[in-house]
Structure 1
């Protein structure tokens, strides 16, 4: 779908490369511009002395060119590349692109129809824009981290880089909107994408709820029918039977219609309905509940481990995970009728396309 679109990618680490991976998977030509030391992600989480998972996962199907942007002659070569590009994306701290001669005001003189995306932690023009940060910091500033808590209401450190990933999706979305405008009008644009704001966008319902009720939490407070329960063998399953019909289906399927009145009650230690539910789920194994989940229409799902994803029938049916080049790769989009890795290449070696 994006065949013929050329993207010059100055980003490093995780969010920007994830954004351009999504575009590469749709067929765009993505050229990573790296300094002589390379993207630092190359040496993070290394495997057998080679590039690590973060770099490999986000760099498939891309090219790599090495330029020292502090060198005027090298910078001129980059400008020539940009002259024929559709998109530039960078993730430096605000002000750095100007010092390197790759800021939007400079590059639009070279290519007036350029779609230029700046992806940063806090945006280009806020009081905290100059601050350094990483995913956990952005989730903290966004309010999202306060919603991810343990049983004692303490914020947890998630095992997924939520702000980085959501920010990458937001950047790819913004770039696609810029390309639509370019196709319609021939005009380029400047896109200022903040990782903090991107993940803060998930807080819209929370912010509205708080302004109306003064409550900090509670939008998922649907009682014992919307909860996570432990199984007989120490695994976990989820139930999301918010609607009466799904709650009724569940209670009937487990022969516990006496639980029906407890539908909206809270999962608290002094609630007998909650205690009965906790005991009920511990009467069956994870595998038994997983089988139950696909037979009974009640919004029940097992909590899968990473190691279990590729073997799931529903994953295999749509080819969303593939094993190639010694690793499992997860698609960024469902691509009907073809393998998402078909016609693509593994991660590029540093400067292999110079």
Structure 2
């Protein structure tokens, strides 16, 4: 039996953080009812489309039921109350204050169903000076400091490839909801969870922003071991205009590579502080990697114990043999879906379910 069988979730969220949270619950047996506005979740219209549905929408909403409700109408509100009467979890992602205006804030819902675990997801939390500031992932990453170190050699920040604030909020939301469900087993009462994208991002900076956390200067990428200032934790161009990375800073890997390149004399530089002291080693590796194509380097490194990887695009990444081996990309009913990141030994092999049409 799936771990969350018997848990009923009413999900009023759209786009990414909330639907990702409830996707993980649906993948593990929860009965998720996705409540959408009459026009539907905008993600339904996001391209590309495969087998008649948005790939984005399918991969975030499979295994759920979908219901269109106009919460500004008496009929819509009455139907939502029916859904919430025996729900275990409610998720909403509206701007702060909207649910109270609609009559479905935590106090109102808990008065009728005290066992409910109610989770609100927003950019900056439900209270405080930033609560009503409009923001999606990029703005949250900018205000949390992370965008400042998502930069190139010229120091200019670039748009991140991953919606980290959205994903962090979804993961924190899932953790909090599951904790509250465990707590309910002891107390018999649910709880309210205020998940902010900004709050969810901040703990991720501890390993790079220690100085700023303790009141000193903010990190500068080119002087940080994890952000581009270390030779053996860096990205390098190859002859064919592609890229490779060295992805671990342990000195044993530096010794192995520099021995193979017959430049063991440069090993002391790998032990220097990140930044200018390692620049001669970075420059040497840049000129070295530029002499072969990406795939030639893959072959060269094949028998060497070095934390090396080619930089792949998503198509190349998904076509790797171990992706199929681990069952991470599943094709079913004419569509492709990314499998859950965690699976349990006690459960059968995961198979994708369909994403709901709006009713």
Which TM-score applies when normalising by structure 1?
0.91
- Are 1:237 and 1:300, in contact at CA under 8 Å, matched by a contact in 2? yes
Partner SS state of residue 117, structure 1: strand
CA distance in structure 2 between the aligned counterparts of 1:143 and 1:193, rounded to whole angstroms: 19
- Are 2:18 and 2:91, in contact at CA under 8 Å, matched by a contact in 1? yes
Given candidates 117, 120, 145, the residue that maps to 2:119 is 117
Match of 1:146 in 2: 148
CA distance in structure 2 between the aligned counterparts of 1:255 and 1:315, rounded to whole angstroms: 35
Post-superposition shift, 1:222? Answer: 5.5
Given candidates 190, 193, 217, the residue that maps to 2:192 is 190
Partner SS state of residue 231, structure 2: helix
Post-superposition shift, 1:44? Answer: 2.6
Match of 1:235 in 2: 242
Q: 1:263 to 1:46 in 2, by over 3 A?
A: closer
Match of 1:225 in 2: 232
Partner SS state of residue 152, structure 1: coil
Which TM-score applies when normalising by structure 2?
0.90
For 1:1-354, list aligned pairs within 5 A: 1-45=3-47, 47=49, 50-210=52-212, 211=214, 213-217=216-220, 218=224, 220=226, 223-264=230-271, 271-335=279-343, 338-340=348-350, 342=351, 344-351=352-359
Q: 1:49 to 1:117 in 2, by over 3 A?
A: same
- Are 1:209 and 1:219, in contact at CA under 8 Å, matched by a contact in 2? no
The 10-residue stretch of structure 1 (196-205 or 172-181) with the greater mean CA deviation from structure 2: 196-205
For residues 103-133 of structure 1, what are the alpha-carbon distances to aligned partners after superposition, in whole Å with 9 as ceiling and x for unaligned? Answer: 1111101210100000011100020111221
Structure 2, unaligned stretches of length 5 or more?
none
For residues 287-310 of structure 1, what are the alpha-carbon distances to aligned partners after superposition, in whole Å with 9 as ceiling and x for unaligned? Answer: 232344453222111212100122
Post-superposition shift, 1:219? Answer: 5.0
Q: 1:328 to 1:188 in 2, by over 3 A?
A: same
- Are 1:293 and 1:299, in contact at CA under 8 Å, matched by a contact in 2? no
The 10-residue stretch of structure 1 (8-17 or 319-328) with the greater mean CA deviation from structure 2: 319-328
Structure 1, unaligned stretches of length 5 or more?
none
Partner SS state of residue 120, structure 2: strand
- Are 1:86 and 1:113, in contact at CA under 8 Å, matched by a contact in 2? yes
Q: 1:312 to 1:10 in 2, by over 3 A?
A: same
CA distance in structure 2 between the aligned counterparts of 1:67 and 1:241, rounded to whole angstroms: 51
- Are 1:222 and 1:242, in contact at CA under 8 Å, matched by a contact in 2? no
Post-superposition shift, 1:270? Answer: 9.9
Partner SS state of residue 74, structure 1: helix
